[in-house]
Amino acid sequence: QVQLVESGGGLVQPGGSLRLSCAASGLSLDYYAIGWFRQAPGKQREGVSCISTSGRNTNYGDSVKGRFTISRDNAKNTAFLQMNSLEPEDTATYYCAAAIGPQCPDSSGDYMYVYWGQGTQVTVSS
């Protein structure tokens, strides 16, 4: 059974930080690029970040550049999203997903994400 499980979400004040984890079972993450996505009520799902299998290549959505950092530990079969300087606009359910192939899909390649977690809620509020 392939499973991705996100954790680390919660309530944080504006300007605060959270570190999300994405733990995989039933697959070895070193075969997959890993993406983080988020979706807020009434809004489209948004790509947040992606990291290649090696960890040498990363990308970020414009709204989170300079604030979020994606990383992975293939030995632990886990990926992470460090979120700093959080804003109320970051409030959303955050999902991790595994994409076929070693490199991050481009903006037209979301179909390459074949496994998805159930999400973890992040709420940024004072």
Q: Binning pLDDT at 50, 70 and 90, where does residue 109 land?
A: confident
Q: How far apart are the first and last CA of the chain?
A: 39
Give the distance from CA 61 to its chain's centroid: 11
Residue 108, pLDDT > 90, answer no
Looking at every residue in the chain, the average pLDDT score rounds to 96
User: Bridge-partner residues for 34, per DSSP?
Assistant: 51, 98
pLDDT higher than 90, residue 69: yes
Report, as an integer, the average pLDDT of 13-40: 97
pLDDT for the residue numbered 107: 84
Q: What is the mean pLDDT of residues 62-66?
A: 97
